[in-house]
Structure formats: structure tokens, C-alpha cells
Structure 1
Amino acid sequence: MPIANQEMIRDNNRRLVLEYIVNNPPVSRADLAKQLKLTKATISAIVQELIQQNLIQEIGSAKTSLGRKPILLEFNQEYGLAMAIDVRPRQILTLISDLKGENCHVKEYPFHSEDPLFSLLSSIIEENQRFFEHAEKKIIGIAIGIYGVVQHNQIIFTPYYPLPSEDLGSLLEEKFRIPIIVENEANLSVLGESAFHYGYENMIHINVHDGIGMGILINGKLYKGKDGYAGEFGHTILFPDGKPCPCGNRGCFELYASEKAILEEYSLRTGKNAVTIDGFLSDYSRKTPEALDMMELFVKYMSIGINNLINTFNTDLIVLNSSFSNFIPDINSRIIEYLSRHQNRDCEIISSSLQDISGLIGGIRLDCEHFLGIRHLKIRTSPLDLER
């Protein structure tokens, strides 16, 4: 067998072994051989290498009444730290975790469109490096979520903030000598939800905020389209002769169904100025007629959009991530009821378990998978587990 083929097989076997240990701890060498259908000699050699690299460790013996007790193995998730940064239109969120997406620390920073983004991100990274220096752990990778179009780690377009360069990731990587991944925030969000809802090969994550973004997973792989523009759900047309959109079209979906659009319409109907999400939800909880009407409108518009997605993608799961669906329990059931009048195609629709950290968890997942050379990291962190 050619040497190149031997190396490819060996690398693939190493990936399989490490990924299984990471996602299914604790496990014995014998179980690895059985589950992965590899020889005991192959397992023994790979495990020894991973132990020497300090990526896995032996943690004692399994309980058994028969023969010699097998030594159990687990992933050394404290080997290093992963970092994710979510650059939002008016704030920046960061999350640092171990290499399993656990023991998370989240921090929020104010951000204004006129702030120099490269300098601000540099200071945030430096601050976090200093904070974790005492632990003698290095950051193994940083994933940055951008509200815009990203292709091959370059930012092609964003309407929310000026950029020093489309090569923002390369500039930061050159400065800090840390691998930097730049990705669309909705794509990171679907990767985060996929790590949490393990087992769904086909799913869509809809992120509703000032705009509406969408991440698409097809056969377990992120779908970005030819130029990275796939998932611009907010710029599908709801009303052909509707409101003008900065994208050049009229009647775009996010001009009617985004949180910003709903709040602006609510402000017009009530005469209230600068309505916030919290203020609107408070009015809704008090069942004011205008707030109830606006949520009925949100349900109607979102149902139309989701119906189009189901008929286009025939997906297993749609995760709706918005302040409305996350904090009003019956929003999803109302959408499902609306869809049941049409052809639903047996698609499950749920609210996000990760809420405002879905993109951050997706970033952590990418960091860890790239560093470890594995294809799928299971994560069980929820917003309740976070240290803020």
C-alpha cells in the first residue's frame, strides 16, 4: 500500500478514536475496538500517542465481576481554552470555555458602529488572554461571528458596521498567532444548535433580531451556497410592492417579521417612543390589545416564512431563536397550528435552547473541531450553566 494511503488511513483512525473518546466518555480500549471495528493493536497505538500528547487520560478501572478490570479513558478537556466572539450591531459577546464547550465564561462589551472594530477586538482578546494567564492555559482558537456575508474566512458584506478590511481574521491571526475563524453568525448558530441537538442531520436555525438570518445544515454539513449568500432568509420577498430595503429589493421578510420591524410597527400603533423588547414583552404579558395584535402578526408572517422553508428544504428540525419565541411559551404552538392548516411535512419546530449564546457555542464547536481534527463535537452547555 502506498505510504500516502497508509498515512490517510492512520489519520482517519486517529480521528475516529479521539472523536469517540471526546463524545462518549469514559470508554475502555476494548470498547473502542468493538465500537470502531479496529484491531486492538491499532487502538493501543493510537491511545498511547494521544496520552503522550496529553489529549486523553486514564481515569481508573471499570466495575466488572469478570476477569481483569479494563482501564477507562477520557478526554482531557482542560488541555486548553476555546474562545468565541459574537459581533452584534450594538454589543459584542464573548465566550471562553474548555475544549468540550463546558466551564463557560461569558462577557458583554458595548459596541457602536463608529468604534474601530480591529482595535476593539484586539483589546478584548488581550484582556481575555491576561485573565486566563494564571491558569497556564492557552487559547487554541478564536471564532468570530459576523452579521453579514462571509466567504472563505473573508467578510464580503455587512450592513451593520464598518470594517478595517475584509481580511479581519487574517489581521488578528497575524497579531496574536492564534488560529482565527470568521463566519456568519447564523451559520455559527446552526452549528451550535446541532452540537446541542445531536442526531439531526437536516436542520435550520432562524435567528430573529434587527434582521433575520438563517443557518442551514444538510446531511450534517453546513450549506453556504456558491458565494456564501445562502441563508439570507430576511431578504426573501414577503410583499413584492412593499417597503424598500437597503439590499435594493422591496418587501423583504425582515422588514416585517424581525424584532426591529415588530417594535417599530408597535411604536407607530401605540405612539410610544423607543420601544424595547422588554417593554413590549411587559405590555404583552399585561395583554394590551396592540401587543396581542403585533404577536398575532409575527406568528402569521413567521408561519408563512417557515412554510416556505419546509417546502423548500424538507428538513427534520427548525429552531426559532427570537426574544418573542424564547419568552412567550405558546408562539411555536401557534405557528405549528397555522402550519397544520397547510402541508407541514412532519417537521419539528422548537425554540432555541441556547438562545443568545447559540452562535457562541457554534464558534466554540468550530474552534475545538479544527484544533482536535474531529468532525462533530457534542456539547451539553445551556444558558443556565454560564458564568456571566
Structure 2
Amino acid sequence: MYAVRHSGTAHFADTSTPGPAASQLGMRRHNLALVLRIVATHTDLSRADVAARTGLTRAAVSSLVDELIAAELVREGPTASSGRAGRPGRTLTLNDSGPAGFGLEIGVGHLGACVVDLRGEVRVWRRVERANAHRDPADVLAALADLATEARTEAESSGLRPLSPMLSAPGLSGPGPAMLTHAPNLGWHDVPIATLWPGPDTPQLENEANLGALAELWTAHAPANFLHVSAEAGIGAALVIDGRLYSGSRGFAGELGHMPVHPDGPHCTCGSRGCLELYANQEAVLHAAGLPEPTATDPVTVLTEHARAGHPGALDAIERAGDALGIALAGAIGLFDPAAVILGGAYAELGAWLLPRIRRQLETRLTVRPFDVQTVTASPLGRRGPILGAALHTIREILRNPAALG
């Protein structure tokens, strides 16, 4: 099993002067990543083509490619026709077997597992509807570990080798390895994922909204500056600036769900009044629609089916949720000036009914500066964003630093 050193790992300063060997090693690692990225972003390139694009010598590229092939990251295909004199080379492509990204997900009402190959293509997808709120974390993690084992077995049967997983969860992670400090919609606080995880390969942990935003960025559905808003039981947001996730000074950025939209509204569980979640999370919308919380069916599916059928209560409740979202987003857009706003999670599936009301609110409220309300869109990833982002995270790290595979 390979392990990947992720970018969140702390690095201590080395005050010594690096010698020639260290400099050569660093340069080789840089060039290894450069060659891998060239192969990942272009098709039908030979070793000579890679040398021409990178400025490296053919001998250096050949050595680096051999190393990438040995690590099962690159494979050679048919002979390429370069149009140049000399013997034609074989094409280089990312390996569609070998190391793979592995994403896991804990939702309030489901568990998930996803494996993607080096090209980012989904090869294994598992989702199990399961009520996790206020359940014993150890019990939930045991069920997730079983699902992860099933997904890993299926992936390995097709030649993939899933790396250490990334876990998407609806909460905030804290100091220490995989510590879920605050997940109010699960009813969990200070849950030591690393301690409770049954078996080897403890997953790393990241907030679901953050991973959903990164999935939008990495799959080329989003510009370099955008706001991602998603919802199921709770409402989360993530801000991407110049292609990088902005987490805030303490990692708490994105708490859109507890932005007051009606200051004189009802009390929220957070202690404030009139928060967005009281009007626009799935429980609030179901209640406003006069629909009971389903026990065997996904709540978003219930809302979508009723809206498509023209159910007056469902349509009215979703539209009022859109108004509340529009009010909250007007403030966020005025403060951060994103190029786009992308609705993910449940909001993506309800976008046909939410977007008109959101845009109407933005047209009314954003009068000081121009903003194209058509840049507020629903994600094509739907509710797959967070777990896809979790799986893609490892692939991105491999492309950034293939030498970290060990």
C-alpha cells in the first residue's frame, strides 16, 4: 500500500545549508512532477515530445519516465507519429490501474465510498442510506470501514491500488490527527476519528463544503474565484480565491448557515435568531412544505418529486428558501466579490426552483456594484461533490509530488 504525504503536513525549518546532493534530489523531484503533469495534461506525447515541452534532455526525460512507469503512474501505449526524422516513440499516458484516489463520506443520512483513477475517472461508487445523527461515532465509523473494505476490494479486482483515504464530514476538524471537533448536525463533538477508526489506513479528515468546492475547481466547472454553497441537514460554504481554498485564520470560514437573514426571526440552536438554516436547510424546507421527515426515502428526493409534481406547499417552501439564500448570498457577494456562486449538494438538485428566487433577491439587493446574477448556477456534480473532492485530493497530491509515494 502506498502512502501519500499530503500538503497539510507540517514542515520544520532546516537552518543548515543544503549540500549538492540535497539540491540534486530536490531538482529531480521537481522534474519528476513536471513530467507527470505534462503527461497528465496532454495526449499522445512521446518521450521526445515531453523533452521538447519541458526543456529537459531526452536522457533525463527517459530516466524520469522509467521511474514513473516503475511507480505505476505512467504507462506506454502505441507508437506515436511525431513527423520528425528518426525512430518514432511510444505514447505516454496516465496509468488507468495502480495507485488510485480513495474518498469516504459521512453524511447525516448516508455513508459513501469512492475510488478514482489517476485520470480522475470514477471507478468505484458506493452510497448507503443510513441515519447517522446522534449515533455512536464508533458504530458509524465501523459501518463506514466495512463499506470502505467493499470499495477497496472492488477497486483491487480491476487492478487499482487505493491509497490512504480522505474522509468528508459535515463538521470542523481540529488539531491532532483526524479530530472532528464540531459536527452539530451529527450531534458529535471532539470525536477522535484516528483513535476510533477500526483497522489500518486511518483516513485524513476534511470538511464536506471545502471538498465540494475543490471538486468544482478540479473538474474545471468553476473559475479561479468563486463561492460554493451546499446543503443537506446543514448549510455550508467555501470560498476559493485564486484557485486556493480560503479557510480563515482558524479554519472556520464558510459558516453561511448561521448568517442571520431575519434578525427578528425564531431562535436558532446556535444561540442567534433568524439564521439561514432555519429557512433553507432540508428539514426546514420539508416542515414549511407540510411534508413529514421521510424515514426510508432521501429527503431531497422527496422534495424534488413533490416540486416536479407541482405540489403547492413544496414549491412555496423551496421558493422561500431561495429568498433566504438570496439575502445571505447578497451579503457574501458584496463582501468577497466572487466571479461566480455555485450551488452544490441538495441545492444543486433543487436548483431549478431555487435559482430564480435567488437571482431575484440579488438583483434587488446588489445595487452598488454590478453583478451578473446568471453566474449563480447549480453544480453539475450534484451531491457527489464532497466525496469526489475527497478522492481527487490524493490524485492532486500525486501529480504535485509523485516522489512522495513510498
2:7 aligns with none
CA offset at residue 170 of structure 1?
A: 5.7
Hey, what's the Cα distance between the residues in 2 that align with 1:285 and 1:256?
Answer: 21
Residue 331 of structure 2 is aligned to residue 308 of structure 1? yes
Residue 59 of structure 2 is aligned to residue 27 of structure 1? no
SS of residue matched to 2:85: coil
Q: For structure 1, which segment, 213-222 or 182-191, has the greater mean C-alpha deviation from structure 2 after superposition?
A: 213-222
Q: Deviations over 1:15-62 (max 9, x none)?
A: 122122123333223333343344444323322221232321111222
1:355 aligns with 382
Task: Tell me the amino acid that sits aligned with residue 36 of structure 1.
Answer: T
Residue 105 of structure 2 is aligned to residue 86 of structure 1? yes
Query: Which structure 2 residues correspond to residues 160-309 of structure 1 after superposition, within 5 A?
Result: 160-161=185-186, 166-169=191-194, 171-172=196-197, 175-176=199-200, 178=201, 180-197=203-220, 200-267=223-290, 272-274=291-293, 276-309=299-332
Cα pair distance change 1:256/1:132, threshold 3 Å? same
Task: Tell me the amino acid that sits aligned with residue 75 of structure 1.
Answer: L
CA RMSD of aligned residues (A): 2.8
Task: Tell me the amino acid that sits aligned with residue 161 of structure 1.
Answer: L
Q: Deviations over 1:196-242 (max 9, x none)?
A: 12672222211121111112212211221222211111112212232
Hey, what's the Cα distance between the residues in 2 that align with 1:140 and 1:324?
Answer: 31
Q: Deviations over 1:260-312 (max 9, x none)?
A: 21221222xxxx54474444434433434433332331222121222222222
CA offset at residue 365 of structure 1?
A: 0.9
1:12 aligns with 30
Residue 169 of structure 2 is aligned to residue 146 of structure 1? yes
Hey, what's the Cα distance between the residues in 2 that align with 1:201 and 1:306?
Answer: 18
Cα pair distance change 1:11/1:133, threshold 3 Å? closer
Cα pair distance change 1:10/1:121, threshold 3 Å? same
Residue 85 of structure 2 is aligned to residue 62 of structure 1? no
Q: For structure 1, which segment, 352-361 or 197-206, has the greater mean C-alpha deviation from structure 2 after superposition?
A: 197-206
Cα pair distance change 1:118/1:93, threshold 3 Å? closer
Hey, what's the Cα distance between the residues in 1 that align with 2:141 and 2:127?
Answer: 17
2:98 touches 2:159 (CA, 8 Å); kept in 1? no
Among candidates 345, 350, 372, match of residue 371 of structure 2: 345
Task: Tell me the amino acid that sits aligned with residue 184 of structure 2.
Answer: P
SS of residue matched to 1:213: strand
SS of residue matched to 2:228: strand
Q: For structure 1, which segment, 255-264 or 151-160, has the greater mean C-alpha deviation from structure 2 after superposition?
A: 151-160
1:382 aligns with none
1:42 aligns with 60
CA offset at residue 143 of structure 1?
A: 1.1
Cα pair distance change 1:134/1:33, threshold 3 Å? closer
Among candidates 74, 95, 115, match of residue 114 of structure 2: 95
Q: For structure 1, which segment, 299-308 or 25-34, has the greater mean C-alpha deviation from structure 2 after superposition?
A: 25-34
Cα pair distance change 1:289/1:162, threshold 3 Å? closer
1:307 touches 1:344 (CA, 8 Å); kept in 2? no
Identity score, percent = 25
Task: Tell me the amino acid that sits aligned with residue 30 of structure 1.
Answer: A
SS of residue matched to 2:338: coil
1:144 touches 1:363 (CA, 8 Å); kept in 2? yes
2:115 touches 2:155 (CA, 8 Å); kept in 1? no
1:310 touches 1:344 (CA, 8 Å); kept in 2? no
1:117 touches 1:163 (CA, 8 Å); kept in 2? no
2:73 touches 2:99 (CA, 8 Å); kept in 1? no
1:21 touches 1:74 (CA, 8 Å); kept in 2? yes
2:318 touches 2:353 (CA, 8 Å); kept in 1? no
Give 5+ residue unaligned stretches, structure 2. 1-18
Hey, what's the Cα distance between the residues in 2 that align with 1:283 and 1:162?
Answer: 29
Task: Tell me the amino acid that sits aligned with residue 15 of structure 1.
Answer: A
| TM-score, normalised relative to structure 1 | 0.84
Task: Tell me the amino acid that sits aligned with residue 345 of structure 1.
Answer: F
1:140 touches 1:371 (CA, 8 Å); kept in 2? no
Hey, what's the Cα distance between the residues in 1 that align with 2:154 and 2:216?
Answer: 28
Q: Deviations over 1:96-151 (max 9, x none)?
A: 23233324222222243324223223322333344445445432121111111113
SS of residue matched to 1:307: helix
1:386 aligns with none
2:4 aligns with none
1:89 touches 1:111 (CA, 8 Å); kept in 2? yes
1:207 touches 1:322 (CA, 8 Å); kept in 2? yes
Task: Tell me the amino acid that sits aligned with residue 156 of structure 1.
Answer: T
Give 5+ residue unaligned stretches, structure 1. 376-388
SS of residue matched to 1:315: coil
Q: Deviations over 1:347-384 (max 9, x none)?
A: 72221111111011101111223345449xxxxxxxxx
SS of residue matched to 2:384: helix
Q: Deviations over 1:321-360 (max 9, x none)?
A: 2545424536435533442343443472221111111011
1:381 aligns with none
